[in-house]
Amino acid sequence: MVKLISNSEIIVLCFGLSKSILKTGLTHSPRLAVEYSELIYNVQDGVGLITLNRPDRLNAWTPNLEIELRSVIENAQQDGAVRCVLITGAGKAFCAGMDMAVLGSSDRKAFMTDSEDDVLQRYGYLFGFDKPLIAAVNGAAVGVGLCLALYCDVRFIASGAKVATPYTRRGLVAEHGLAWLLPRLIGPLHTADLLLSGRTIEAQEASQMGMALLRPSEGFLDAVMSYAKDLASSCSPRSMRIIKKQLLQARYQTFGQATHTADREIALCRGTEDFKEGVKHFLEKRKPNFTGQ
């Protein structure tokens, strides 16, 4: 069981994790043996599978679940056997937003910072995670639950699932940088529609907006796991790590700056073990054996 910690310890955990992730590349540390009370974590064929595990509450968000997610992400970052991470929900929902039963006891100030650094924001550490982060939205994703999915690099959504940003219908405003992030994913028109109306949309509309990739509900998790396992087995960890950095930097760059970055990184690739293996396995018509070096 993971016990709740004090507000000061939460801040240290938040800031310490963010900084350690930025400094840590692909490492080969022993896997950390940690038990969690509100999520399940296991590694399958190079994929770290995180399952939010409060199905009786539609995986609604709690302070403890937030702490556990930070911990498991740090675990996955340090584990060289993990090539990518997939997040999903147990039961019928992905995450139905903040659990109203604990809302009054949650101290939001514990997660606030005066820093404007991206990775030091409340969920900004997810941007600092340097392996592919995949969301498998198997059911309802609302409020902070949707934010969690949007912080992921690739999002899949099951047919019939629903998502919502109901802030205006609760007397609230867009949270966790959503007014910045969402237009970059689905454009300003769709963003204004969803945030101002607070309406609920279904998976097909979310897919049409470009929010997530639509997949049939039957066999949904297996299909997304197959995609994640393909990344883990067929793609260079180093290449994926650099491309994630490129995608994040490109949000602030001109086309010329992004091209200059690409030219520099391509030149660096040519001396790496993964580039040599990439050419060799292609010519030999076999599966690759990338090391991330």
Question: What sign for the dihedral angle of Cα 207, 86, 259, 191?
Answer: positive
Residues 6 or more apart whose Cβ sits within 8 Å of residue 22:
119, 128
State the pTM of this model.
0.84
Tell me what pLDDT residue 114 has: 66
User: Residue 106 in contact with residue 65, Cβ under 8 Å?
Assistant: no
Q: Which of 30, 251, 232, 227 is nearest to 131 (CA)?
A: 232
Neighbours of 158 (CB within 10 A): 23
Query: pLDDT (tens digit, 0 to 9) for every residue of the chain, 293 residues total?
Result: 333 333 333 333 333 333 333 333 333 344 445 689 999 999 999 999 999 999 999 999 999 999 999 999 999 999 999 999 999 999 999 999 988 887 665 555 555 666 666 676 778 889 889 999 999 999 999 999 999 999 999 999 999 999 999 999 999 999 888 999 999 999 999 999 999 999 999 999 999 999 999 999 999 999 999 999 999 999 999 999 999 999 999 989 999 999 999 999 999 999 999 999 899 899 999 998 899 88
Tell me what pLDDT residue 100 has: 82
How many angstroms separate the Cα of 216 from the Cα of each of 79, 111, 156, 221? 32, 37, 10, 10
Q: Which of 286, 285, 249 is nearest to 264 (CA)?
A: 249
Q: Which of 248, 50, 40 is nearest to 151 (CA)?
A: 248
Rounded to a whole number, what is the distance in angstroms from the first to the last CA of the chain?
36
Neighbours of 189 (CB within 10 A): 10
